[in-house]
Structure 1
Amino acid sequence: MATNLPIPIEFSLPAGWRPAPPDEVGAPQAAFVALHPRPDDGFTANITISGEFRPDAASLEAIADDALERVRAFATNVEVSKRKALGTESSPGFAQSVSMTVDVKGRTRDLVQRQLFMAYVDAEDSRKRVVLQLTLTATPGQLDEATTDFHAFIATVQPDRS
C-alpha cells in the first residue's frame, strides 16, 4: 500500500511525465510515482517520492547508506559512483548516484538511480525533522534526458505552505 508523506509538499512534473498509482506500478513504499513518457526497450524511467519523520540524529549520509542497503536487497552489482552533500545547514541535502542490475518482469536490466535526500527541520524544534527521498530510476539510455527532467523537477519541490 502506498505510503503518505509526513508533510504536504508541492511540485511540478516535467513536460510529458505522468503520475501513476504507486501500488499499481510496483512501488508500494512510495507516496508518489511519475512515469517518463517514452519507455526504453520496455522499461519506463520513473521518479518516486517517499519520506519519513526522523526524530533521530542520523546524518543524511547515513540515511543514504540505509537506502543503499534497501537497494542491495533486490539488486545485484550495486555500485555508487557519486555521493555529495548539498544545500545549507538550514536546508541540507545529500545526493548519490547508484548503478545496479535488477530483474524486471523476468528480464535482467542495468539501471541507474539518482537519489536525493532533503531534510526539512521544524523552525521551532530542531528535533522535528522530515527527510524526503526523491529518486529517479532509468536505463543508461534514458539517463541523460531523464536526469535533466529530474533536476527540473527537484527545483520545484517544496513544502506546501497553504
Structure 2
Amino acid sequence: MATTLPVPIEFSLPDGWLSAPPDEVGASQAAFVALHPGSSAGFTANVTISGEVRTDVTLAQVAAEAAARLERGVGGPVEIGRRNELESAYTQVVRMTVPIDGRPVELVQLQVFLAMPDVRDKSRRAVLEIVLSATPEQFEDLVGDFQAFLKTIRPDEGVTR
C-alpha cells in the first residue's frame, strides 16, 4: 500500500510526465510516482516522492541511510557520485546496475532530500526524498525536467489535517 507524506505539499509535473498509482508500478514505499512514458526503451524513467518525520538526524545521514537501503534492495554495490549540501536540502547522484527482465541495466538516480517544516506545527520537520531514476542516456535528457519539477515543490498551506 502506498505511503502518505508527513506534510502536505503541492507541485506541478513537467510536460511528458504522467502520475501513476505507486502500488500499481511496484513502488509501494512511495507516496507519489510519475513516469516518463516516452523514455521506456527497456526502462521507464520515473520520479518518486516519499518522506517521513525526521528530527534526529542530518540530511547527510538520511542520504547515507537511503544509499544503504538501495544497496540492500538491488543486492549489489551502489556508487555514490556527486553530493551537494544546502541549508535545507541534500543531493546525491547514485549509480547502480539492476537486473531487469533477466539482463543487467545501468541506472542513475538523482536523490534529493528536502527538509520541510510542517506549516501547522513548526516543531515537526519532515524529510522528503525525491528521486529521479533513469538510464544514463535518459538521465541526460530528463535531468532538466527533474530540476524544473523540484522548483515547483512547496508546502500546501491550503490543506487541513
| TM-score, normalized by the shorter chain, greater than 0.5 | yes
2:4 counterpart letter in structure 1: N
Residue in structure 2 matched with residue 61 of structure 1 by the alignment? 60
Going by fraction, where is helix more abundant, 1 or 2? Answer: 2
Quick one: distance in 1 between partners of 2:141 and 2:132?
A: 11
The one-letter amino acid of 2:6's match is P
Paired positions, count = 157
Using the alignment, how far apart are the partners of 1:17 and 1:159 within structure 2? Answer: 21
Counterparts of 1:108 and 1:99 in 2: how far apart (Å)? Answer: 13
> Shift of residue 55 of structure 1?
3.1
What are the ranges of 5 or more consecutive residues in structure 2 without an aligned counterpart?
Answer: none
Deviation at 1:103, TM superposition (A): 1.4
The structural deviation recorded for 1:122 is 4.8
Residue-by-residue CA offset, 1:49-87 (whole Å, 9 max, x unaligned): 00001132x00000000000111012224101111102x
State the 4+ residue runs in structure 1 displaced beyond 6 angstroms: none
Q: Structure 2 vs 1, CA of residues 124 and 49 (structure 1 numbering), >3 Å: closer, same or farther?
A: closer
Offset at residue 125 of structure 1 (A)? 6.6
Match of 2:37 in 1: 37
Range with bigger deviation, 97-106 or 23-32:
97-106
Distance in 2, matches of 1:160 and 1:111, equals 32
- In 2: Cα distance, 1:120 partner to 1:61 partner: 15
- 8 A Cα contact 2:119 2:155, kept in partner: no
The answer to whether the Cα contact below 8 Å between 2:119 and 2:157 also exists between their aligned partners in 1 is no
Distance apart, 1:121 and its partner CA: 2.7
Q: Matches of 2:131 and 2:100 in 1, distance apart?
A: 17
Please state whether the residue corresponding to 1:13 is helix, strand or coil.
coil
RMSD: 1.6
Residue 140 of structure 2: aligned partner: 144
1:5 corresponds in structure 2 to 5
Q: Cα–Cα, structure 1 residues 23 and 123, in superposed 2: closer, same or farther, change >3 Å?
A: closer
Q: Which residue, 107, 112, 115 being the options, matches 2:108? A: 112
Give the aligned partner of residue 159 of structure 1.
Answer: 155
CA distance in 2, matches of 1:81, 1:158: 27
Matched, 1:28 2:28: yes
Checking the alignment, whether the CA contact within 8 Å between 1:10 and 1:158 is kept in structure 2 is yes
What TM-score results when the alignment is normalised by the length of structure 2? 0.91
Q: CA deviation at 1:7?
A: 1.1
Residue in structure 2 matched with residue 73 of structure 1 by the alignment = 72
CA distance in 1, matches of 2:26, 2:44: 12
Measured against aligned partners, the alpha-carbon deviations of 1:95-142 in whole angstroms (never above 9, x if no partner) come to: 000000111233321000000000013579764210000000000110
Deviates more, 1:68-77 or 1:131-140: 68-77
